[in-house]
Chain A
Amino acid sequence: MSHVPDVVVTGLGATTPLGGDIPSTWAAALAGESGARPFDNDWVETYGLPVTFAATIKVKPEDVLPRPELKRMDPSAQYAIIAAREAWADAGSPEVDGDRLGAVVSSGIGGIWTTLDAWDTLKEKGARRILPMTVPMLMPNSPTAYVSLELGARAGAHALVSACASGAEAIGYGVEMIRTGRADIVVAGGTEATIHPMPIAAFAASRTLSLRNDDPEGASRPYDVDRDGFVIGEGAGIVVLESAAHAAARGARVYARIAGVGLSADGYHITSPEPSGDGQIRAMRAALEESEIARIDVVHVNAHATSTVVGDLIEARSIRGLLGDEADHVALSATKSMTGHLLGGAGALETIFTVLALHDRQAPPTINVENPDPELVLDLVRDKPRALRDGDIAAVNNSFGFGGHNVALVVASV
């Protein structure tokens, strides 16, 4: 049997509701800050939105990117390129043959600003005013294509779409590209730019958004008894994945190892998670078995936990069901309490948090939990970060999406 390469993380990048890069985002997460804020526009009055806030991006792309790039990219691609540039520089801008470099950047929804702006233009001014860049900006593979163009990544450029699991699935696919020998380095992650009145109205119509309009910062409260839905967020997270041998040969700094990738589908309902958690358990079990990591070494889980009434508890029971008594020593973090839900960016940002938690040996906090749900069967890290023990440890990042997509990544310390 041929040797399957180990895959490590050598670079991190992000732009999020907590900060315009990794250091500011991670510092704000450890400090327990919220990225949720009221809309600074007239959407509520103009459209009658029932939700008056969101976790908007902290540093606007207008402050970072030159005008021609802003005009050529949907915001979802802008966020991805900002995060990808940071991640690539963080990895030391490695010298690599472009034929051995891949890009896998997902969005759950795609270039919806571009789509809706073009529709407005068509209605108001007619077909002749539609700009030629409309299609390359709205297509859901646009972010990964721009990352591929930027870096000359020619081993493959992919955009896996699985709603709110997209960012994690992208990283999982990037790991597979390296394991199967298609690439030595893959730039992978997720992005989303959906804070536009139409998708907000649509999410609100599905009754999944928090309506805690009088307290935006307190609205995202996974596992609190008074949670009432998720807070929509935006941004991107990107990691540089690299074969361990390639990273070692160039003396790269290694944050952590991606030890297992688990995927499953519920095949149950278009939005509701399957109540027994069977699909979630199968994804986590597959990732753990592949990683060959002992359950006693799993010390941290970054939960998908979006702050919905039903979803949070199904996941907690799934984790308990999978790990049994070994779940007693798992520090559970629900970082969407701070970032809001980045949809297609969430799985990538939370993988980054998981990687940093192992690297820095501290699990980020879950904020806003005033009264923990009595049915929560796990040890939640509340309000302040918690130290993780020395030695070989591992963590799981869960990401689940509308459509019944379940992704679990096992991350191991190095």
Chain B
Amino acid sequence: MAYSEQEILAGLAEIVSEETGLPTDSVLPEKSFTDDLDIDSLSMMTIVTLAEEKFDVRIPDDEVKNLATVGDAVTFITGAQA
């Protein structure tokens, strides 16, 4: 079963909120993980690990550096579902 982009955004917002303490409604597609959400590399890898499990996808380490914004992650996860 594939998740919709809205479901992925909502699920990602929950993961980011748990990790950072930010409210889920501040985790918007245009937000940068590093510049806007202040997420360091260790936290980013935690988010990736939790997102892989939640959405049953594989996010290769080489791909993580391309996920600058929340929207990038939503797009990647959506495409990786197949």
Contact = CB atoms under 8 A, between A and B. Distances in A.
A41 B65 CA distance: 43
B45 interface: yes
A67 B53 contact: no
A128 B61 CA distance: 11
Interface in B27-57: 42, 45-46, 49-50, 52-53
A69 to B, nearest CB: 8
B interface secondary structure, majority: helix
Interface stretch (A103-111, A129-137, A189-197): A129-137
Contact of B46 (A67, A125, A132): A132
A67 B21 contact: yes
Contacts of B20: 68
Interface residues of B, number: 11
Interface string A62-100: 000011100100000000000000000000000000000
B21 A128 contact: no
B5 interface: no
A132 B21 contact: no
B52 A132 contact: no
Contacts of A68: 18-21
A267 B21 CA distance: 49
Contacts of A125: 53
Contacts of B45: 132
A248 to B, nearest CB: 39
Contacts of A136: 42
Interface of B: 18-21, 42, 45-46, 49-50, 52-53
Given A128-B52, A131-B49, A132-B45, 15 more contacts: A66-B21, A67-B18, A67-B21, A68-B19, A68-B20, A68-B21, A71-B18, A125-B53, A129-B49, A129-B52, A130-B49, A131-B46, A131-B50, A133-B42, A133-B46
Interface of A: 66-68, 71, 125, 128-133, 136
